[in-house]
Amino acid sequence: MPEDLLFEYAIIRVVPRVEREEFLNVGVVLYCAKKKYLKTLYEVNEERLKVFADIDITEIDCYLNAFERICNGDAASSAIARLPVAERFRWLTATRSTILQTSKVHPGLCKDPEEMLQRLFRQMVQQH
């Protein structure tokens, strides 16, 4: 029987006007130390985002791609991507006042981090 694995996750949000604190969930980042697992899933629903705010979708895609490259440890993309997995997760989930932010970090237990990432993505991003 597989053991329960401690994981941490945060929701990735687009915050068009930081001062209003309104956001739209666009992704999930999940970290599991025991498995050295760090991955993100995201989806930009252009229609929904356009209704929500007048925003440059290309810019959002660029930021999300950078976020994913850091998760993947793409050393050519940035110095942050060369950090150890735990440090990359902490950097990605640090509080910031930009158009792309994450929620607070939440812990949990799972058997399979990939399966949990998919489940959280469906629940927190794809359900409307």
Average pLDDT across the chain, whole number = 92
User: Tokens 């489940």 — which residue?
Assistant: 119
Partner residues linked to 38 by β-bridges: 31
Partner residues linked to 10 by β-bridges: 29
From CA 77, how far away is CA 66, in angstroms rounded?
A: 8
Q: What is the pTM of this model?
A: 0.92
Q: What is the tens place of the pLDDT at every residue in 50-106?
A: 887 888 889 999 999 999 999 999 988 889 999 999 999 999 999 988 899 999 999
pLDDT the model gives residue 21: 83
- Alpha-carbon distances, residue 116 vs 36, 46, 54, 62, 101 (angstroms): 15, 25, 33, 25, 21
